[in-house]
Amino acid sequence: MAPRKRTSILARFAAPLAALAVTFAAPASAQSTDLQANFDDAFGTEMRSPDTFEAIYANSFEQRIAELADGDRGRIGVAALDLTTGEQVAVLGDQLFPMASTSKIAIAATYLEMVEQGRYSLTSEFPLLIAVRSPKYSSPAAPVREGNYMQAIDLIEIMITRSSNPATDALLAAVGGPEKVNDWMRRQGINDFSIDRDIATLVRDDGEYDPANWIDPRDAATPRAMVRLLQGLHRGDFLSDQSRRVLLGAMSRTVTGRRRIPANMPAEARVSHKTGSLNNTSSDIGIIESPDGRAIAVAIYVTGQGSRLNREARIASIARALYDGFYARARQNRNWTNAEQRTGG
């Protein structure tokens, strides 16, 4: 397979950095929005320094997340949404990152919609599709062989909780392939998302590009897009209550990624999530709930950082900072409201 022509990193920085220079010359009222947009457009780290955080981010909470998502050792994308208040935080939230296995949530949702339409059931059976060894890039799709048949409810369970690739490809084939999942996402109003290969092919050809310094639009999504997916699933925009219980229930039983979002969470927090891992990239997306019923949707995509353990530690630290930050702000808002009520304000 002939190598793809690659744009130099310097060339990728040129436009965003030039735009940044123009932004500083703009009227003060327009600078904040323009700075954020140009920061998110920047590919790497030139604009990522504490000197820029204060100009770009509105408060200390956002600045803290930006510091933890510092990309000097590889791109880091973060998006989070307080599902109660609607408050959002994002760093490179509109930049594409490799989804890896976080895409499996959308595959499961697509299948569950077909169950609701009566085209399948949770007890419909499909064969596991097991990858057959083949050289990288040797075919458009990696060869697979059929394994044992399993019910769809069990395929969803192991696809989410244990990130089973054969189970994922079984359901991906059942729904009609990647284009059907992409169509499901588009119909939900989520556009910055694309599945282009089955998991067997994605894994076989992994490593073609280094995601720390190259954006491959295939099998990629933005953190904001994945948070919108989580938001819609949580509040029932996309699926029936039964389907939501199946999918979010499986996410609450995930056993992969214990060093990621759940790692630094307080014991009382409940995490429902899905991990992803490929060459030089680790990710985790999910919903974090507190005992008082508040919930935040979080998508964290980390590349580079020197090792998988370092990437996972970065995910864990960002997730805890998001949890603490959102709930500190919620307590602050409650105190303000109570004070206004006491003073008649």
Q: What is the pLDDT of residues 158-180, one digit of tens each?
A: 999 999 999 999 999 999 999 99
Relative orientation angle of helices 178-187 and 165-175, to the nearest 10 degrees: 70
Q: Are the beta carbons of 262 and 275 closer than 8 angstroms?
A: no
Model confidence at 333, pLDDT cuts 50, 70, 90, reads low
pTM (2 d.p.): 0.83
Question: In terms of C-beta density within 10 A (0-12 exposed, 13-18 middle, 19 or more buried), how is residue 287 classed?
Answer: buried
Which tens digits make up the pLDDT trace of 173-230?
A: 999 999 999 999 999 999 999 999 999 999 999 999 999 999 999 999 999 999 999 9
In CATH, 97-335 is 3.40.710.10? yes
Mean pLDDT of the chain: 85
Q: Quick one: which H or E segment has residue 299?
A: strand 295-303
Which tens digits make up the pLDDT trace of 42-67?
A: 554 444 555 555 545 556 788 889 98
Which tens digits make up the pLDDT trace of 282-321?
A: 999 999 999 888 899 999 999 999 999 999 999 999 999 9
Spans of all domains in the chain: 97-335
Closest CA to 282 of 311, 259, 262, 307: 311
Quote the CA–CA distance of 303 and 284 in Å, as a whole number: 12
Closest CA to 290 of 315, 265, 263: 265
CA distances 120 to 5, 87, 104, 152, 213, Å, are 43, 38, 18, 9, 42
